Amino acid sequence: MADGEARWVMAMREALTLAQEPDAPLGENPRVGCVILDRDGAIVGRGHHRGAGTPHAEVVALAQAGDAARGGTAVVTLEPCRHVGRTGPCTAALVQAGVAAVVVGQQDPTDEAGGGARTLRGQGVEVTGGVLGPECERVNAAWTFAVRAGRPLVTWKVAASLDGRVAGPDGGPTSITGPAARAEVHVLRSDVGAIVVGTGTVLVDDPELTVRLAAQGAAIPLRVVVGSRPLPPDARVLDDQAPTLVIDSHDPVQVLADLFDRGIRHVLLEGGPTLAAAFLRAQLVDRVEWYLAPLLLGDGPVALADWATVGGAPVGVDVEDVAIVGEDVRVVGRVRYQQAGL
Ligand SMILES: NC(=O)c1ccc[n+]([C@@H]2O[C@H](COP(=O)([O-])OP(=O)(O)OC[C@H]3O[C@@H](n4cnc5c(N)ncnc54)[C@H](OP(=O)(O)O)[C@@H]3O)[C@@H](O)[C@H]2O)c1
Q: What is the mean pLDDT of each run of 10 residues along the chain (342 residues)?
A: 82 97 86 96 95 90 96 96 75 95 93 81 94 95 94 98 91 82 92 96 95 72 98 97 97 98 96 94 95 94 77 84 98 85 44
* Cα-to-centroid distance, 199 and ligand 1 (Å): 6
CATH number of 42's domain = 3.40.140.10
* 83 and 58 both lie in a single domain: yes
Please indicate, yes or no, if residue 100 is contained in any of the structural domains: yes
How many other C-beta atoms can be found within 10 angstroms of the C-beta atom of residue 271? 26
From the CA of 251, give the closest atom in ligand 1. 31
Query: Is 128 found in the same domain as 177?
Result: no
Do 278 and 311 share a domain, yes or no?
A: yes
Q: What secondary structure, in 3-state letters, does 273-297 show?
A: HHHHHHHHHCCCCCEEEEEEECCCC
Same domain as 132, residue 169 = no
**What are the residues whose beta carbons fall under 8 Å from the beta carbon of 307, sequence distance 6 or more?**
277, 280
Residue 77 lies in a domain: yes
User: Does the residue 342 lie in any domain?
Assistant: no
Q: β-strand 287-293 against 153-161: which pairing, if any?
A: parallel
Q: Are residues 166 and 200 in the same domain?
A: yes
Give the atom of ligand 1 at the shortest distance from the alpha carbon of 172. Answer: 45
Ligand 1: residue of 155, 162, 166, 307 to mutate (most ligand atoms within 8 A of CB) is 166
263 C-alpha to center of ligand 1: Å? 25
Active site residue 14: no
Ligand 1 atom at minimum distance from 226 CA = 27
pTM of the model: 0.90
Residues 235 and 200 in one domain: yes
What is the CATH number for 279?
Answer: 3.40.430.10
Question: Which of 84, 113, 145 lies at the terminal end of a domain, its last residue?
Answer: 145
Q: Which residues have C-beta atoms less than 6 Å from ligand 1? A: 158-159, 166-167, 171, 173, 176, 197-201, 204-205, 226-229, 250, 270-275, 278, 301, 305
In a shared domain, residues 116 and 172: no
182 and 305 fall within a common domain: yes
Q: Ligand 1 centroid to 183 CA: how many Å?
A: 23
With vertex at residue 196, the alpha carbon angle to CA 190 and CA 200, rounded to the nearest 5 degrees, is: 135
Has residue 341 been placed in a domain?
Answer: no
Do 69 and 199 reside in the same domain of the chain? Answer: no
Per-residue confidence (pLDDT) for residue 214, from 0 to 100? 59
Task: Give domain status of residue 27, yes or no.
Answer: yes
Whether 140 is covered by a domain: the verdict is yes
Same domain? For 180 and 289 the reply is yes
12 lies in which domain range?
A: 3-145
Per-residue pLDDT at 282: 92
Is residue 212 domain-shared with residue 267, that is, in the same domain? Answer: yes
User: Please, what's the largest Cα pairwise distance for the chain?
Assistant: 70
Contact between 65 and 89 (Cβ < 8 Å): no
Number of domains in the chain: 2
For residues 202 and 287, membership in a common domain is answered with yes
Residue after which a domain boundary falls, among 90, 119, 145: 145
Distance 160 CA to ligand 1 centre (A): 15
222 in any annotated domain: yes
Question: What per-residue confidence (pLDDT) applies to 173?
Answer: 62
Residue 184 lies in a domain: yes
Last residue of some domain: 129, 145, 161? 145
